[in-house]
Amino acid sequence: GMGADEYIKFITSHFSNFAVVEKADAEKIIEKQNADKINSLIREAKLKATTSKTSKKNVKIKVSVKNNNSLIKEAKAMGYTVKYKFYRSEKKASKYVAKATKAGKTYINTAGKKGTKYYYKAKALVYDGDKLVGQTVLTQCKYGVRTWSK
């Protein structure tokens, strides 16, 4: 016969569709829901990247999420890691080379060729452990052309 341990009883405060699933399956489902949520947050996120000169004549690149700071908060709340990747090129439309990937939103570029104009881009990356789960589009820095003067 059916022992009491074969029944599942739970109390809910609202009507909805409920599913009873094994723990491993539940974790997979939650993981997928989180991945879907993070991907839609990433797609909606608009980065703003700006450059400025530091007192030492280096170029500081700063990234912020223009329209959707919840992306960063929610990603972290779900256990994801957010990093920022910074790129530089001598051409506006091509040949961007990754210079740094950092947890912080700023990167200071300390080396360049005197008299050379540089363009900068940045993007946000979301990681689940070591696995990249999503990234924003590459964003051109505003005031982005800085002629190297050191």
In tens, the pLDDT along 46-87 reads 888 999 999 999 999 999 877 666 777 888 888 899 999 999
**pLDDT 10s digits, 18-44:** 666 788 888 888 888 888 888 888 888
Q: What per-residue confidence (pLDDT) applies to 76?
A: 85
Q: What per-residue confidence (pLDDT) applies to 110?
A: 93
**pLDDT 10s digits, 90-143:** 999 999 999 999 999 999 999 999 999 999 999 999 998 999 988 988 899 887
pTM: 0.76
Q: How confident is the model at residue 5 (pLDDT cuts 50, 70, 90)?
A: low
- Angstrom distance (rounded) from CA 32 to CA 39: 10
Classify 29 as helix, strand or coil: helix
Q: Which position has the token pair 């940045």?
A: 122
Classify 100 as helix, strand or coil: strand
For residue 140, the surrounding DSSP H or E stretch is strand 139-140
